[in-house]
Chain A
Amino acid sequence: MRLKKYIILGVAGTVLLSCNNLDLQPLSQASTESWFTDKTQVEMSLNTLYLHQFWPMFKNDFGGSIMSLDEPSDDWMNRNTLIVFTNGTLNGDNSTFVKNTWSYSYKAISRCNTILENIDKAKLNLTTELYERYIADAKFVRACMYSRLISHFGDVVYFTKDLTLEEAYSQVRTPKAEILAHIYEDFDYAAQKLPLTYKGTEIKRATKGAAYGMKARVALFFKDYTVARDAAKSCIDLGAYELYPDFGELFLSKTKNSVETVFGIPRSTEYGTPLNGGAVTAYLSRNITSPSATASPSWDLFCSYLCTDGKPIDESPLYDRKNPFMNRDPRCAATIVEFNSNYFGFNYTPHPDSAKCWSYKEGKLVTNKDSKGSDQYASYNGLTLRKGIDEDWSDDLMADNDKLILRYADVLLMYAEAKIELNNIDQTVLDAMNKVRARAYKVDYTSSLYPKITETSQTKLRTILRTERRMEFAFEGLRYNDIIRWRIAEKVMNYTNYGLPTSLASCKAYVKSGYWFIPGIPDIDENGCPDFSKMANLSQCRELSKRVFDANKHYLWPIPTADIMVNPGLGQNPNY
């Protein structure tokens, strides 16, 4: 029976020796325990802050929800539909964009705080310069995030260290003025410690100029004009930035890392960070791809462009209602596809009589899906975006245009605006504005070949500046904040979106009656915004949608309901 014993022991031993080790660690992820000990790890933590999701401008950035930062504004139109921002139904729970803006901003903030709290672990392995630069980098991002939060939500929860669960549940909202002061401190530190430029061998993250510029932006939003002016001036005085000579080319994907970029993040099709899907197709016309033509420049935007004499269309004798692109500021055709221009190899014409259009590629007439005559889903108001879009978008429906978060033209116009509002109008104000305008005409600002701004009345100059910003920055994600801070959203966001009739028969009747392209000339108000309400024959246009904005609440976004539920101490913004 000895054999039996051996076998029993053998079997038992084999099984029991295979007793498993239960202390298993993640295999393909790192653990926080051992992090922040060297330069590489700090750099990797900082890199994360530059993911597109933290700097949303387009549909992709938040994984969809709204098309772009301009969608809630009056520059934008999506067929005959509205979103919760524009139909007045926004609440704390129905906009992924609001919720994401809140949570992603805080995500970035908490990552900044973690870096700032832990960087001392790596201090021995860093030079003082790098150590301070990394701190500055994290503070810069944190300040940008808090700027965004207080701009949209007003008073918010403010903290600068990692919260424990207990602390988190008992947070209250800090007055935005107080937060703003902290934001300035962070930007000031960043401006002091960040490099002006990076060496060719270094990863380029935030710079000194970006810190000044972003500070100017938040100061201007909160009407802190002195701070805004000084920050903008500091940025300009760095002498590191110039206006890119060609306005249209500036936004194309081939223009990389231009001299005008004060703060931007590159996109790359090759490395997996492109614009794609709806963020691309929405802007293209029906001839290029489909589904498409859902994101169109509004008639409001189109009518805001000045004529080449520097006057709005309701004043300028140069405006021809039948040839609406003629004699307009060059940025008009650089932003919106001009009728009968070559667009992706097609002659772009939304005219209902043009069932066929010329294909430059094929050298013959082809079916024109951009015409309301042959495609009911062709752009509902006849307009299609040009800015930033070229063949790079259509080949694979992916685009890698640089994301321009802050460019020099904005710094110049912010400087001008701050000075105008301070009623401190001098030649530097006019020069700053003229530089921007002259670039559009591809001439020097000292030249006389463009409608130079000479106005010095504060009121009139304010109108000019607002129009200038709209022409310059259309579809760059700035318009919404502009109409909010100027407090004109309650007016312009209550206008109606107009467009073209839908069926072929009614479209043809529209053309026959001479209404094409837009039946009349809208009045342009003191903010440079067209008001279609008095326009003749308006009933001939198709009423696409009626925007709704309630001044009693919509200047602030609602605090996401989910957070109020876990921390009722937050309270909701008024009237939500």
Chain B
Amino acid sequence: MVWFGFAKVNITINITLKIIKNKLNPDLMKKSVGSNELWQSARRVWTAMFLMLFGSLVCSNMMAQNLTVTGIITFSTGEPVPGASVMVKGTKNGAFSDSKGNYVLSNVPSNASILVSFIGMESQEVNVAGKGQVNVVLIEEAISLNEVITIGYGTAKKRDLTGAVSAIGGEKITARQNTQVVSALQGAMSGVTVTRSSSAPGTGGTIRVRGITSIQESDPLIIIDGVPAGSINDVNPSDIENISVLKDAASASIYGARAAAGVVLITTKRGARDGMSIDYNYSLSMDLPTKMPEYADAPTYMKALNERNWNDTPTGGEYTVYDKDLIANYWSLNKENSDLYPNTDWVALCLKNYALRNSHQLGLATGNDKSKTKISLGYDDVDGLFKSNLSWNRATIRVNNDIRISKWFSTSLDINMKRTESTDPMFSPSYQMRFAAPVYAGIYSDGRLAGGKDGANPYGAMMYGGTSKDTRYQAGGKLSVEITPFDGLVITGIFAPNYNFAKVKDFNKQVSYYTAWDDLSSTDFLDGTNTTDLKETRADSYSITSQLFANYAKSIANHNFNAMAGYEGYHYYYENMWASRGQYDLIQYPYLASGPGTFKDNNGDAYENAYNSYFGRLMYNWKYRYYLQANFRYDGSSRFHKDFRWAFFPSVSAGWVVSQESFMENISWISLLKVRGSWGQLGNERIGNYPYQTTLDFNSPTLYMGNTIVPVQGASAYQLAVPDISWETTETADLGLEINFLNDHLRFTGDYYWKQTKDMLLKLQIPNYMGYSDPDQNAGIMSTNGWDVDLNWNNQLGDLNYSISLNLSDYKTVMGNMEGTQVLSNNLMVREGSEYKEWYGYLSDGIFQTATDVSSSAVTSSAVKAGDIKYKDISGPAGIPDGKIDATYDRVLLGGSLPRYNYGGNINLDYKGIDFMVAFQGVGKKKSMLTSDMVTPIRGDWYNVPGIIVDKYWSNYNTAEQNSAAQYPRLSRTGETNNYAASDFWLIDGSYFRIKNITMGYSFPNLGLEKVGVKKLRVYVSLQDYFTFSHFPKGWDPEVSSTGYPITKSVMFGASIKF
């Protein structure tokens, strides 16, 4: 038989066992498949027809001289591969390796090639060359064409896709060793941008699929094992089998109304192999800030404060606050009495040198041909950098069961549970520890708490001000039933409830401090800690998803069809309540019962939403050469008025596998050439729960009743209703090209896309005198153009296996009609014609050097003096420059703020048990603004002077030459409004390159522990986020928020053991 040559392919995970058992499994054919092993019979029929057709066309080459070949098949780790398929190329002569990896093939022509394949590994072709022993080392398959990709309500082989789908295997996620899934996705796929602003324990980041889709909500829809999930972090990264991201409308429109911002499909691991395997992984990491900005020391601060006052009030003299002698002698005074003359390093006071992170992951897989079970347990314990009161831990358990009851009836039952507990200080020192001035003491040398600046002591408040303890429980289940009434048709019914419960205890404690170092009797309370108060919150929610869908596959001659239709219903309910008591006398008892009976308060509310959806998909191809696909989804949502509730979201796509054409046969270096295109519509319904109704809000003013003050209840409508409010619609078109070269060693995928969101919900700016808050209306338009490129190379050199993958993507979002509205927040503008979140501010023209320069120029106010930033006079009320700089006429768009040219990549090396991985990620172009927190000296009248500006600002003490080279404006409070207004003066090149992960591992060969069941032991060391290259000023990480928790880097040690 000839068809094995054709089918050098791999096998879907779900049916591996079958393939191994039934040697001639027709699933070796390239074929779009469903997720169920019962597809098998259907495929047999197709395959038979397929074979009949091709069998007559392809010639086989029969050889005479034969020998018996034996050998051992091993993984690159040295471990034997049981059940690998070994075939003589061009024949049906084949065998499987036994449990020790040995195989025997008789009757092999001496110059024949043998083909070795195994699920998840690259197939290999080896020429026997007359040898009687041929050993083969299999290497892990990179993302390949034959990989089965999860798509909505089914799976498909990558080769058969006509839409833009990115996928990543679970091992890549696990290799990153992140606690949260979202962090592991940073830089992992093209078109998927993950941004973060802190590494606080338990935090992840923000995912954007192909940029921004709506000004309302651009978070992608997260589907875990086919069921909508609240958050991508609901799943433990080590439970993930693979992740698919549906990027274009053709792929995502099966999720219709909620898919506009892309869909992330996560599949968890299931029991697979025969027998039982247990693996356990432990890792320990040390987290420390990537960078921390420096601030001035005490004398520098005092000098600067005096200089600032002198600048602002020249008549006040040069030494208005700190006398000259004091500054000159400060270090010796500090040595004598550091309580009276402190030089506090607040960051060092508040942060540990490093924080520890522990992770335990235990997995158990077992199975036979009737049932399969995968059990995984995970525990992560993450400590924060604060010296106290910051930690996060998570325990997860997941049990996935597959049971085959009969030939036509199977079921699976999954249960997952998660508990997370995070502890945060009621007062986070992140902000003040960076900015507090050094001349105030945090603690006295004898250990007593000092007040910082008059009670503003971030250290004391963090350590003793109480905690917010947030404990969340999640339990989810999924029962699915699959029935195959006859070959080709599979009906699936799914019922998946998900329950969440949250318990939050905010206990704010009174903290007293000593107001003077030499006065034990004088005490006061730190800011925000005047009273001890407790607030307890409980929230519970549930969602119930039910699905019923049928997949039907049929092949007639060269026409291959696959149809799917189904229903999905979803209901979500949320309710919360909280109760509080204030002014506790004692700080030890964080329970309501121990608080005073007065100062009680409580509240609670609830909401719900639901949708019903009908969807369908038709896939067709002719000879795996021409593909057509159409999807639709018809969604109804409770969020809209009856008359505007239902919407239809269609999509179509087509593909042409050019390499299947006969004219391509001779171009052997191109192993695949595919072009594809798609168009479709998607929706966004996440716009509040009852936006079409006018609701009354309750409030409680206090009024007199007689001479008693009583809380009365008030009620009023606050928002104008727009009854016809409805979906936002996103239309996407995508053109894709996939080319594989050199027998798939080099693979390229490129996509260009255009998407436009219409009827975007905008705050309709109604006149304020109407007396209502601005309602939402369907009005806005925004468009995004972008492209994604992925490039992969993998090969082996002797014992060295290596692979390199790179991805690069870019997009630009431009706002269309906004009905005259604009949103300006944090100096970022969203208005018609602007990019989404484009910087908005003045155009600077250097720093004013002389008073003459000031008086002859347009200025923002009369407070502007030499040393302040000069701006360009752009326009005025008459449309021409008016000699004044003002916010209305002289601010302009300064360029986009979103990251452009997002790229990422992986390099993997594997050599005789040593594995090495480098993952990197970066942003090729970005305009970032130095925020006023980062550059303003003595902000708020007492904060410190940023280290980056010391000696680099314009000063009256400088020479004219020094001043003309000054990088920063003069020290001034009256000049703050002018100098730290948003302008291009503060824009910097925000691009960066970060080595996300370097991991080196070693798997011990021949441990001699097989007797006790140990199959494999691997130890590894890993560096995360360790090296970063950017244009940011010293001490600033390119991703960190200027006022938040640091971004951390980590050193990790780990070991995994497999039984």
Count of chain B residues with a beta carbon within 8 Å of a chain A beta carbon: 105
Give the distance to chain B from A210, nearest Cβ to Cβ, in Å.
13
Minimum CB–CB distance from A332 to chain B (whole Å) comes to 28
Contact A31 B695, CB 8 Å, known A44-B714, A45-B714, A272-B711: yes
A30 interface neighbour in B610, B715, B888, Cβ under 8 Å? B715
Judge whether B530 and A397 touch: CB under 8 Å. yes
- The answer on a CB contact under 8 Å between A200 and B491 is no
- The residue on A at minimum CB distance from B480 is A11
Q: How far is the CA of A52 from the CA of B638 in the complex (A)?
A: 36
Binds A, one of B77-85, B157-165, B316-324, B357-365: B316-324
Assembled-state Cα–Cα distance A5/B80 (Å): 46
Q: Which residues of B contact A (CB under 8 A)?
A: 309, 312-313, 315-317, 319-323, 408-409, 453-456, 481, 483, 485, 491, 493-495, 515-516, 519, 521-522, 524-525, 527, 530-531, 544, 546-548, 567, 569-571, 575, 582-583, 598-599, 601, 604-612, 636-638, 642, 645, 689-690, 693-707, 709-717, 720-721, 765-772, 820, 861, 886-888, 941-942
Chain A residues near B317: list those with CB within 8 A.
506
**What 0/1 readout, one digit per residue, does chain A (1-42) give for beta carbons within 8 Å of chain B?**
000100110011011101111111111111110010000010
Cβ contact within 8 Å between A26 and B695: yes
| Measured CA separation A58–B941 after assembly (Å) | 23
Number of interface residues of A (CB under 8 A): 111
A362 to B611, CA, bound (A): 67
Q: Whole-angstrom distance from the CB of B822 to the nearest CB of chain A?
A: 9
Contact: B695 with A165, CB < 8 Å? Answer: no
Q: Do A20 and B569 form a contact, CB below 8 Å, given A11-B548, A12-B548, A504-B323?
A: yes
A256 at the interface (CB under 8 A from B): yes
28 contacting pairs across A/B (C-beta < 8 A): A4-B409, A7-B409, A20-B612, A22-B610, A25-B690, A28-B607, A29-B690, A31-B694, A44-B698, A44-B714, A44-B715, A48-B699, A106-B770, A108-B771, A111-B771, A199-B706, A200-B706, A204-B705, A265-B702, A268-B709, A271-B710, A291-B456, A396-B583, A397-B530, A503-B322, A503-B323, A539-B315, A543-B313
Known contacts: A272-B711, A290-B455. The answer to whether A562 contacts B765 by CB under 8 A is yes
Does A72 lie at the interface of the complex (its beta carbon under 8 Å from any beta carbon of B)? no
Contacts of A565 in B (CB 8 A): 765, 820
In the complex, which of the residues B319, B320, B495 has the most CB atoms of chain A within 10 Å of its own CB atom?
B320
Chain B hits for A200, CB < 8 A: 705-706
Residues of B within 8 A of A45 (CB): 714-716
- Residues from chain B with a CB closer than 8 A to the CB of A560 are 768
Most chain A beta-carbon neighbours within 10 Å: one of B491, B530, B567, B714 = B714
> A542 touching B767 by the CB < 8 A rule?
no
A367 interfacial by beta-carbon distance below 8 Å: yes
Which B residues lie within 8 Å of A171 (CB)?
Answer: 767, 769
Cβ contacts under 8 Å, A265 to chain B: 701-703
A168 to B820, CA, bound (A): 16
Digitize A369-399: 1 where CB-to-B-CB distance is under 8 Å, 0 elsewhere: 1000001110000000000000000001100
Interchain CA distance A12-B547 in the complex, whole Å = 9
Contact A566 B767 (CB under 8 A): yes
On chain A, the residues within 8 Å of B575 by CB distance are 27
CB distance from B569 to the nearest CB of A (A): 5
Q: Are B705 and A202 in contact (CB under 8 A)?
A: yes
Known: A48-B701, A107-B771. 19 other contacts (CB 8 A): A19-B612, A21-B610, A32-B693, A32-B694, A41-B715, A44-B698, A46-B714, A47-B703, A47-B715, A48-B699, A51-B714, A93-B888, A203-B710, A270-B599, A271-B700, A273-B702, A290-B524, A396-B530, A503-B320
Point out the residue from B312, B636, B771 that lies within 8 Å of A22, measured CB to CB.
B636
A427 contacts chain B at the CB level, 8 A cutoff? no
Decide: A20 and B715 in contact? CB cutoff 8 A: no
Q: What is the bound-complex CA distance between A517 and B622, given in angstroms?
A: 98
Closest B residue to A29 by beta carbon equals B695
A163: CB under 8 A from chain B?
A: yes
A116 at the binding interface (Cβ < 8 Å): no
Evaluate whether A27 and B607 lie within 8 angstroms (CB atoms) in the complex, with A93-B887, A290-B454 already known.
Answer: yes
> Nearest Cβ distance between residue B269 and chain A, in whole angstroms?
26
Decide yes or no: A169 and B319 within 8 Å by CB, A26-B693, A47-B701, A51-B701 being known contacts: no
Q: What's the Cα separation between A29 and B691 when bound, in Å?
A: 13
* Contacting residues, chain B, for A23 (C-beta < 8 A): 638, 642
Q: Are A114 and B315 in contact (CB under 8 A)?
A: no
Do residues B610 and A24 form an inter-chain contact, with CB atoms below 8 A?
A: yes
In angstroms, Cα B1020 to Cα A175, docked, is: 80
Minimum C-beta distance from B369 to chain A (A): 21
Tell which of A18, A94, A113 touches B569, judged by Cβ atoms closer than 8 Å.
Answer: A18
A396 to B596, CA, bound (A): 14
Q: In the docked arrangement, what's the CA distance between A289 and B645, Å?
A: 56
Contacting B at CB under 8 A, from A244-293, are 256-257, 265-273, 286, 289-292
Chain B residues near A209 (CB-CB < 8 A)? none
Once the chains are docked, how many angstroms separate the CA of A32 from the CA of B692?
A: 12
A354 part of interface (Cβ distance < 8 Å):
no
Given A15-B569, A47-B701, A171-B769, decide whether A4 and B455 contact each other with a Cβ distance below 8 A: no
Among residues of A, the one whose C-beta sits closest to the C-beta of B599 is A270
In the complex the two chains form, what is the Cα distance from A33 to B700 in whole Å? 22
In contact, B696 and A30 (Cβ under 8 angstroms): yes
Q: Given contacts A256-B709, A291-B454, are A28 and B548 in contact (CB under 8 A)?
A: no
How many A-B residue contacts, CB cutoff 8 Å? 301
A205 at the interface (CB under 8 A from B): yes
In the bound complex, how far is the Cα of B710 from the Cα of A261, in angstroms? 17
Which residues of the other chain, B, contact A292 by a CB distance below 8 angstroms? Answer: 454
A109: interface (CB < 8 Å): yes
Instruction: Please indicate the chain A residues that have their CB under 8 angstroms from the CB of B768 in the complex.
Output: 99, 102-103, 106, 560, 562-563
CB distance from A501 to the nearest CB of B (A): 7
Contact present for A505 and B717 (CB under 8 Å) = no
Residues of A within 8 A of B608 (CB): 24, 27
Interface status of A502 (Cβ within 8 A of chain B) = yes
Establish whether residues A14 and B716, one from each chain, have CB atoms under 8 Å apart when the complex forms: no
B695 engages A203 (CB within 8 Å): no
Q: Is A567 an interface residue (CB 8 A)?
A: yes
For the complex formed, measure the closest distance between the CB of B755 and the CB atoms of chain A, giving whole angstroms: 28
Determine if A157 is an interface residue (Cβ-Cβ < 8 Å): yes
The reply to whether B770 and A163 form a contact with Cβ atoms under 8 Å apart is yes
- Chain B residues whose C-beta falls within 8 Å of the C-beta of A204 in the assembled complex: 703-706
CB atoms of A257 and B767 under 8 A apart: no
Alpha-carbon gap, A91 to B860, bound state (A)? 13
Shortest CB distance A21–B (Å): 7
Q: When the two chains form their complex, are residues B609 and A24 in contact, meaning their CB atoms are under 8 A apart?
A: yes
Tell me the smallest distance from the CB of B887 to a CB of chain A, in Å. 7
> A473 in the interface, Cβ–Cβ < 8 Å?
no
Within 8 Å of chain B (Cβ to Cβ): is A241?
no
CB-CB under 8 A from B766, the residues of chain A are 165, 168, 566
Of A109, A165, A271, A542, the residue contacting B702 (CB under 8 A) is: A271
The 8 Å CB contact of A26, one of B312, B313, B607, is: B607
- Which of A21, A32, A364 gathers the greatest number of chain B CB atoms within 10 Å? A32
**Cα-based distance from A154 to B817 in the complex (angstroms):** 35
- Report if A502-B320 is in contact (Cβ < 8 Å); known contacts: A19-B612, A20-B570, A256-B707: yes
B887 in complex: contacting residue of A26, A29, A94, A502, CB < 8 Å: A94
Closest to A109 in B: B771
| Interface status of A513 (Cβ within 8 A of chain B) | no
Residue of A nearest to B549 (CB): A15
Q: Are A51 and B548 in contact (CB under 8 A)?
A: no
Q: Which residue of B lies closest to A54 (CB)?
A: B701
The distance in angstroms between the C-alpha atoms of A528 and B485, with both chains bound, is: 99
A26 to B717, CA, bound (A): 13
A89 within 8 A of B: yes
Please tell me which one of the listed residues B316, B645, B772 contacts residue A542 in the complex, with CB atoms under 8 A apart.
B316
Most buried by B among A18, A102, A201, A375: A18
Among B530, B689, B704, B771, the residue within 8 A (CB) of A266 is: B704
Within 8 Å CB of A16, what residues of B?
A: 548, 567
A458 at the interface (CB under 8 A from B): no
Closest 5 CB pairs of A and B: A110-B771, A290-B454, A48-B714, A11-B493, A200-B706
